[in-house]
Amino acid sequence: MRHVYHPSPNDPYHVPDNPHDREPVLDLRSKGYSYSYGHKEWERTVSSKRRTARRDHKDGRVLKGDVYNETVLRVICDETNEVYLVRSREVIKLRPEGG
């Protein structure tokens, strides 16, 4: 029977083939964050609201009368500990015709 060696991630001589296999430095799971191995970032939803636009937005994607979801995420970089917010808007119902 052939024995195949499977190195442990805790083995100091183990270098993973894929850099995305590395475990995160921080552990924020208990605080409600989820980890993205591809981006090496922790993220958590800060707020999620359904809104109706009272005016046209500057970017032109949301117009007066549109109903949209606004989501704000807090992102923490695992390598640099840099913290920033990401805001996204998704139109879910277009304004009524003629209005």
What does the pLDDT look like over 18-70, one tens digit per residue? 555 567 888 888 999 999 888 889 999 999 999 999 999 999 999 999 999 99
User: What does DSSP say about strands 34-36 and 41-52: parallel, antiparallel, or unpaired?
Assistant: antiparallel
pLDDT for residue 58: 94
pLDDT greater at residue 59 or residue 12: 59
pLDDT for residue 1: 46
Q: Please compute the mean of the pLDDT values over residues 60-87 and round it to a whole number.
A: 92
Q: Which two tokens stand for residue 24?
A: 């995160």
The pTM is what?
Answer: 0.65
